[in-house]
Amino acid sequence: MPLLEVTELETHYPTSRGLLKAVDGVSFTVSAGESVGLVGESGCGKSTLGKAILGLAPVTDGVVRFDGEEVSRLGSGARKPFRRRMQMIFQDPFGSLNPRHSIGEILSAPLAVHGVGKAGDRKDRVARILAQVGLPAESIHRYPHEFSGGQRQRIGIARALILDPDLVICDEPVSALDLSIQAQIINLLVSLKGEFGLSFLFISHDLSVVRYFSDRVLVMYLGVIVESAMASQLWSRPLHPYTRALIAAVPDPARRRQVAPLDGDLPGPQDVPAGCRFHPRCPLSSDRCRVEAPLPRTWAPGHDVACHHADEVPRASDQP
Amino acid sequence: MAAVVDMAETLAVPQEGRRRAFRAFLSNPAGVISLAFLLCAVALALAAPHLYPEDPLSMVARPFLWPGQNASYPLGTDSLGRDVAAGVVWGTRISLLVGFCAMALGISLGLLVGAVAGYFGGRVDDALVKFIEIFQTPPSFVLLVVLVAIAQPAISTVIVAIALVTWPTAARLVRAEFRSLREKDFVMAARGLGYGHARIIVREILPNALPPLIVSASVLVATAILMEAALSFLGLSDPNVVSWGSMIGAGRELLRTAWYLCAVPGVAIVLTVLALNLLGDALNDSLNPRVSAKR
C-alpha cells in the first residue's frame, strides 16, 4: 500500500473569467521512503497540487488517501492527526516564518498544539531539531529577521520535521536561495531523509535539482501529468516532447549546440487548449492532437506518457 | 538619514524593528511635542481633584471676570461666577475619559468583527460586512444623537454610543489587514501544522495587524472627543459634569460680550485633537518602515 495515493485530483477555482483549472485530474502515488519529484513550469499547478494534498487548497474532485485513509474530505478536527504526519516546506523562507515569533516559539508551538511531550521535553526536542538542521542552540531566542535566507529555510525544515512526519511536501524549497546555499539545503534534506525515514514529494521547476533528489519524476503541464518515470529512465529516454524540451533547457556544457527553446508561453489555466494541452507549443503536433486529448499509456514498466506521438520521439535528437 | 534601513528590516519585525520605529518616532518633532502635550493633559486630568477640589459647577466669584483680571481665577469666571480654569481642568478629565474609553470599546468591537470577517472570508465576511454597513449608512452624528436620546444622558451611555458609531472604522481596517495577512505563507504553514482558528487569529495574524490599528486608535480618540464635545454642546450629554463642549454651549449666547467663555475650552479641544492627529501621523510614519525609510 502506498503512503500517499492521489486519484483524479481536481482543484478548480471559480473566477470572473471562468473556471480556473489549476489541477485537472492528477493521479499518482508516493511509497514509504520514496522521493518523488514533480516538475513543470511556473503556473502549471504543481504548488496547488501540493497544497491540495495537505488540505491547504480546495479539492474540487478526486481522492487523496494517506496510509490507506481518505483525507481529502476530512474536517479540520478529523484531519489534525494526519497533519502531524504530512508536512510542508515552503518556497519563500522570508514569508513562511511569522516575523513576530522567536525561533523557540515557532518550533515549540507545533508540539504544544499536538500535545507532544511536556514543556521540559519540548525544549529538548527543539534543541535537538536545531542541531539536526545545523543551527546553533542559541537560535531559540532570536527572531526570523536575524537569519539569512539559507538559515531561515533550515528553520522552515526544522518546523516541518519537529512533529516527526512520514511525508514532507517540499514546494520549491531552494528556488529562493543563492546557488551556493541551494546545494547545502539539498544535502541537508538528503541526510535528513535517511535520518527520519521520510518520503518526499519534491516540487521544483529546476530539473537538475529534481534529478539529484528524486527516485521517480512526474512531469506536469497545465494541471495534468504528462509523463512519469523513474528518474534514470526519464533522463535516458524522455518520451513526451514537453519533457524533452525541459531536459534540453538544462544548461549542459557537454552539449555542443544549443537547442531551440520551447516556443511561446504557458497558456493561462483559464483557456486550456482543446485536445492535447501541449499542442500549440509542440513540435510534433498533428490534427489528431488538436481534437483528442491523449490518455496516459504505459510505455515501459513504471514509465507512463500522455502523448499521441510518443513513439515518434527520436532518441536524443537534441544531439547534433 | 538616521532611518536608512535595509530591505530585511522593512519587514515588520520585533525588537530591532521596535527600536527602529522608536528612533524614527523621536526624529519627528511634531510627534514628540504632541505626545508631550497629551501626557501633560493626562497629568492635569489626574491632578484635577487636587488642583480644584471644589465642584467646578459651584459659583466661586463675581461673574464675568475676564482672564487675567483676578490672579486667583487666571482664566476668568462665567456668567454664574464659576471658575473657567477649574472647568477646563475637570473637562480634560471627561474628554480624555470619554475619548479613551470609547476608543477602547470601539477598537475591541472592531477587532472582533473585523478579524472574524477578514480571516474566514466568504459568507461570514459578506454577512459581517452587511452588518458593519448598517452602522455606516446613517450619518454617524445623527445615529449618535438618536442613541443618546434613547438612553439616559450619562457619561457611560455617551461612551457606549460613541463606540457604537465609530467601531465600523476599526472593523474595516482590521478586516483589510486580516484579509491580506491570511494569504501569507506563515499562516498557510500554521494551518498545515494543524493550529486552530483561534490560535491562528490571535497568535499568528493579530500581532502583525497591530501597527495600523495603533495608528487609527489615536485618531479614534480625537474623533470621540469631538463627538462628546458636540453632544454636550447640544446639551445631550450628562448635565452633571463639566466638559469642554458644555462650557462652549453655555458661553455660546455671550459670544459677543464674553467670547473667552467659548475660546478657552475651544482652544483646549483644538490643541488636544490636533495633538492626537499629529501623534497618529507620527506613529504611522514610524511604524510603517517604507515611509520612515524615505525620510
Q: Which set of grid coordinates corresponds to residue B224?
A: 470621540
* Closest residue on chain B to A149 (Cα): B8
The reply to whether A173 touches chain B by the CB within 8 Å rule is no
Residue A65 has pLDDT above 90, yes or no: yes
3-state helix, strand, coil in chain A (%, to 5): 35, 25, 40
The reply to whether A319 falls in a domain is yes
Sheet of A18-30, strand order: A18-30, A4-15, A61-66, A69-70
The reply to whether A33 falls in a domain is no
Structural domain count, chain A = 1
Q: What is the pLDDT of residue A293?
A: 87
Task: State the pLDDT confidence band at A26, using cuts at 50, 70 and 90.
Answer: very high
- Cβ neighbourhood burial of A17 (10 Å; 0-12, 13-18, 19+): exposed
The reply to whether B51 touches chain A by the CB within 8 Å rule is no
pLDDT, one tens digit per residue, over B110-165 is 999 999 999 999 999 999 999 999 999 989 899 999 998 898 888 999 999 999 99
Task: Tell me the nearest-neighbour CA distance from B247 into chain A, angstroms.
Answer: 47
Task: State the pLDDT confidence band at B6, using cuts at 50, 70 and 90.
Answer: very low
Average pLDDT over residues A112-118: 89
Comparing CA positions, the residue from A159, A176, A177 lying closest to residue A168 is: A159
Q: What is the pLDDT of residue B295?
A: 42
Residues of chain A contacting B193 with CB distance shorter than 8 Å:
83, 87, 109-110, 113, 159, 163
Average pLDDT over residues B54-70: 83
- Angle of helix B260-287 relative to helix B206-233, nearest 10 degrees? 170
A1 near A68, Cβ under 8 Å?
yes
- How many C-beta atoms surround the C-beta of residue B162 within 10 A? 29
Comparing CA positions, the residue from A155, A120, A118, A117 lying closest to residue A135 is: A155
Backbone angles phi, psi at A171, to 5 degrees: -95, 95
Question: Which residue in this structure is represented by grid cell 519534491?
Answer: A202
The reply to whether A260 falls in a domain is yes
Taking CB atoms and an 8 Å limit, are B12 and A99 in contact across chains? yes
The reply to whether A209 falls in a domain is no
B210 near B173, Cβ under 8 Å?
no
DSSP H helical segments within chain A, as ranges? 46-53, 76-85, 103-113, 119-132, 149-161, 179-196, 207-213, 231-236, 241-248, 287-291
B281 near B29, Cβ under 8 Å?
no
The reply to whether A124 falls in a domain is no
The reply to whether B62 touches chain A by the CB within 8 Å rule is no
Residue bearing the bigger pLDDT, A120 or A108: A108
DSSP-assigned states of every residue in B227-257? HHHHHHHTT-S-TTS--HHHHHHHHGGGTTT
Q: What is the pLDDT of residue A253?
A: 66
Residues of chain B contacting A97 with CB distance shorter than 8 Å:
186, 189
Residues of chain A contacting B197 with CB distance shorter than 8 Å:
76
Overall residue count recorded for chain A in this entry:
320
Task: State the pLDDT confidence band at B24, using cuts at 50, 70 and 90.
Answer: confident
Task: Tell me the nearest-neighbour CA distance from A305 into chain B, angstroms.
Answer: 32
Average pLDDT over residues B211-238: 90
Task: State the pLDDT confidence band at B292, using cuts at 50, 70 and 90.
Answer: very low
3-state class (DSSP) for residue A88: strand
Q: What is the pLDDT of residue A318?
A: 45
Nearest to B193 among A83, A99, A145 (CB): A83
Nearest to B14 among A83, A97, A143 (CB): A143
**What domains can you pick out in chain B, each with its CATH number?**
7-294 (1.10.3720.10)
- How many C-beta atoms surround the C-beta of residue B130 within 10 A? 9
ipTM reported for the complex, 2 dp: 0.86
Taking CB atoms and an 8 Å limit, are B189 and A146 in contact across chains? no
Q: What is the pLDDT of residue B197?
A: 93
Confidence (pTM): 0.82
CA atoms within 13 A on the CB side of A35: 22
Q: Which set of grid coordinates corresponds to residue A274?
A: 482543446
Residues of chain A contacting B191 with CB distance shorter than 8 Å:
56
Q: What is the pLDDT of residue A246?
A: 86
Taking CB atoms and an 8 Å limit, are B208 and A100 in contact across chains? yes
CA distance B229 to A217: 71
Q: What is the pLDDT of residue A256?
A: 55
Taking CB atoms and an 8 Å limit, are A110 and B194 in contact across chains? yes
Which residues 140-199 in chain B show a CB within 8 A of chain A? 184-186, 188-197, 199
Overall residue count recorded for chain B in this entry:
295
Residues of chain B contacting A143 with CB distance shorter than 8 Å:
13-16
Residue A274: give the domain boundaries. 240-320
Q: What is the pLDDT of residue A39?
A: 93
Residues of chain A contacting B203 with CB distance shorter than 8 Å:
101, 109
Q: What is the pLDDT of residue A167?
A: 95
Task: State the pLDDT confidence band at B201, using cuts at 50, 70 and 90.
Answer: very high
Q: What is the pLDDT of residue A299?
A: 87
Comparing CA positions, the residue from B216, B185, B247, B179 lying closest to residue A95 is: B185
The identity of residue A65, as a single letter, is: R
